[in-house]
Amino acid sequence: MTADIHNWVQIGSLEDIPQEGARCVKNGDMTIAVFRTASDDVYALEDKCPHRNGPLSQGIVHDGCVTCPLHNWVISLETGTAQGADEGQTLAFPVRLEDGRVLIDLSYSHQAV
């Protein structure tokens, strides 16, 4: 329904995020974790583990996933789904990289509820 509405917001540049690391973006009450992989792909997830709301931004980034710092669930950076036997999903935001600038599509935050 909202598939065609995009709300791209520039949040900073690629250099702002450490490789294999993450930074946070505050969007009102919501915190969004923005991850950068070893190969410089950037992903954005709501900073809330589907297990017990652990801050995913604080986890270890590896293989296109992040391991939650609280109880080690492994969450896909691209889709926000828990891997392996665990079940759950956190909100994933589309990300675009343009000339080193990072943009995320916030229209997706509306689909959350």
Partner 1 sequence: MTKKKLVIVGNGMAPGRMLEHLFDKDKDAYDVTIFNAEPRVNYNRLMLSPVLSGEKTYEDIITHGDTWYAENGIRLHKSSRISEIDRTGKTVTSENGVTASYDKLVIATGSSPFIIPLPGKDLEGVLTYRDLDDVDRMLAAARGGGRAVVIGGGLLGLEAAAGLKQQGMDVTVLHLMPTLMERQLDPAAGFLLEEEFKSRGIDVLTRANSHEIVDDGTGKVKAIRLDDGTEIEASIVVMAVGIRPSADLARSAGLETNRGILVGDDMRTSDKDIFALGECVEHRGLCYGLVAPLYEMAEVIADNLLEGASEYTGSVTATKLKVTGVDLYSAGDFAEGEDREEIVLRDAAAGVYKRLVLKDNTIIGAVLYGETADGPWFFDLLKKETDVSEMRETLIFGQAYQGGAPLDPTVAVAALPDDAEICGCNGICKGKIVTAIKDKGLSDLDGVRAHTKASASCGTCTGLVEQLMQVTLGDAYNPAAVTPMCGCTHLGHDDVRRLIVSKELKSIPSVMQELEWTTSGGCAKCRPALNYYLVSDWPDEYADDYQSRFINERVHANIQKDGTYSVVPRMWGGMTSSDELRAIADVVDKFDIPAVKCTGGQRIDMLGVKKEDLPAVWEDLGKAGFVSGQAYAKGLRTVKTCVGSDWCRFGTQDSTGLGIKLEKFMWGSWTPAKLKLAVSGCPRNCSEATCKDIGIICVESGYEIHYAGAAGLEIQGTVVLGLVSSEEEVIEYVSALTQMYREQGRYLERIYKWAKRIGHDEIRSQIMDDADKRKAYFERFVFSQKFAQVDPWSERVSGKDKHEFNPMAVLQAEAAE
Q: Does 111 contact partner 1 by CB under 8 A?
A: no
CA dist 82 to 4, 26, 104, Å?
27, 23, 21
Q: Does 51 contact partner 1 by CB under 8 A?
A: no
Give DSSP secondary structure letters for 44-64: EEES--TTT---GGGSEEETT
Could you tell which of partner 1, ligand FES, none binds residue 73, using a CB distance below 5 to 8 A set by kind?
A: ligand FES
Residue among 16, 23, 6 at smallest CA distance from 96: 6
Q: Which of 6, 51, 58, 94 binds partner 1 (CB under 8 A)?
A: 58
Q: Does 52 contact partner 1 by CB under 8 A?
A: yes
**Nearer of residues 11 and 61 to ligand FES, judged by Cβ:** 61
